[in-house]
């Protein structure tokens, strides 16, 4: 497990060493930590984090359209469409890579990494276009129960209009099937998602009702776009 202080210290040091990188302020470091996947926080340790930072420094072609802290996941987890998929678990060859720390290890996916994963354990579907009608109904029934619990809770936090609009986008993707509304989900967006629902209860219920009116899953294009949504959400 990695902790916030160690993560923020690693990010500060990494950004100081990378050329043309802007240093993160205190609030930005907190946001970087909050948007780091919960599973990665639990699964990684300080040695893995330090190794990923080293790989980022050695990378001759680092990703330009991905936040630096999220780009570290590319060296630790399998890739799909050049995006790290934390839900697959750590790379099977990670220990072998870390045993040779002095060279850069290309994070391109191995052949066995290319098979798409359908389900995110206890959260939703990484490819909801593949849901069966029964899976879609079960997912939306769980969302309905979770939504009513959220609406019965005290209003969550102080958020601006832009943040609340982002919360609506998280909720819409929960309805598509990508994740549930459990307290620690969506990954990094649960707070603003719950806050939007609490401030827009009728709207949230109407969106849920519309989603439940059809058994059709979202189109495959939604699957392909979720990595870009997560990368650009913060």
Q: Is the peptide bond before 186 cis (omega within 30 degrees of 0)?
A: yes
Q: Could you tell me if 102 and 16 lie in one domain? A: yes
Dihedral angle sign, alpha carbons of residues 7, 234, 123, 226: negative
Q: Could you tell me if 109 and 197 lie in one domain? A: no
**Domain termination residue (choose one: 114, 147, 164):** 114
Q: Please tell me the least confidently modeled range out of 168-172, 206-210, 222-226.
A: 222-226
Rounded Cα distance, 167 and 148, in Å: 17
Q: Could you tell me if 81 and 39 lie in one domain? A: yes
SS (HEC) of 41-80: HHHCCHHHHHHHHHHHHHCCCCCCCCCHHHHHHHHCCCEE
Question: 100-137 pLDDT, tens per residue?
Answer: 889 999 988 554 444 444 454 445 666 777 788 888 88
Q: How confident is the model at residue 207, as a pLDDT?
A: 95
Q: Could you tell me if 49 and 135 lie in one domain? A: no
Contact 44, 205 (CB under 8 A): no
Q: Could you tell me if 179 and 203 lie in one domain? A: yes
Count of structural domains within the chain:
2
Q: How confident is the model at residue 176, as a pLDDT?
A: 87
Question: 68-98 pLDDT, tens per residue?
Answer: 999 999 999 988 878 888 888 888 888 888 9
- Which residues sit opposite 125 in a β-bridge? 119
**Domain termination residue (choose one: 56, 83, 114):** 114
Q: Could you tell me if 76 and 53 lie in one domain? A: yes
- Domain of 91? 4-114
Q: Could you tell me if 57 and 139 lie in one domain? A: no
User: pLDDT averaged over the chain?
Assistant: 82
Q: Could you tell me if 42 and 145 lie in one domain? A: no
């Amino acid at each position: 497990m990695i902790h916030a202080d160690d993560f923020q210290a690693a990010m500060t040091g990494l950004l100081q060493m990378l050329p043309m990188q802007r240093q993160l302020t205190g609030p930005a470091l907190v946001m970087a930590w909050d948007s780091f996947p919960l599973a990665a926080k639990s699964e990684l340790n300080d040695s893995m984090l330090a190794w990923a930072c080293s790989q980022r420094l050695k990378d001759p072609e680092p990703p330009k359209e991905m936040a630096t802290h999220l780009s570290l996941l590319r060296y630790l987890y399998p890739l799909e469409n050049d995006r790290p998929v934390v839900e697959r678990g750590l790379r099977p060859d990670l220990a072998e890579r870390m045993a040779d720390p002095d060279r850069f290890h290309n994070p391109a996916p191995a052949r066995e990494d290319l098979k798409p994963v359908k389900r995110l354990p206890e959260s939703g579907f990484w490819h909801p276009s593949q849901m069966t009608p029964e899976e879609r109904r079960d997912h939306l029934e769980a969302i309905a129960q979770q939504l009513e619990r959220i609406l019965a809770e005290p209003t969550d936090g102080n958020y601006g209009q832009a943040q609340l609009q982002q919360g609506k986008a998280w909720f819409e993707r929960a309805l598509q099937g990508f994740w549930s509304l459990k307290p620690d989900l969506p990954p990094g967006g649960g707070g603003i998602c719950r806050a939007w629902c609490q401030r827009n209860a009728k709207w949230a219920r109407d969106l849920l009702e519309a989603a439940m009116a059809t058994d059709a899953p979202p189109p495959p294009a939604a699957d392909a776009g979720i990595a870009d949504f997560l990368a650009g959400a913060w």
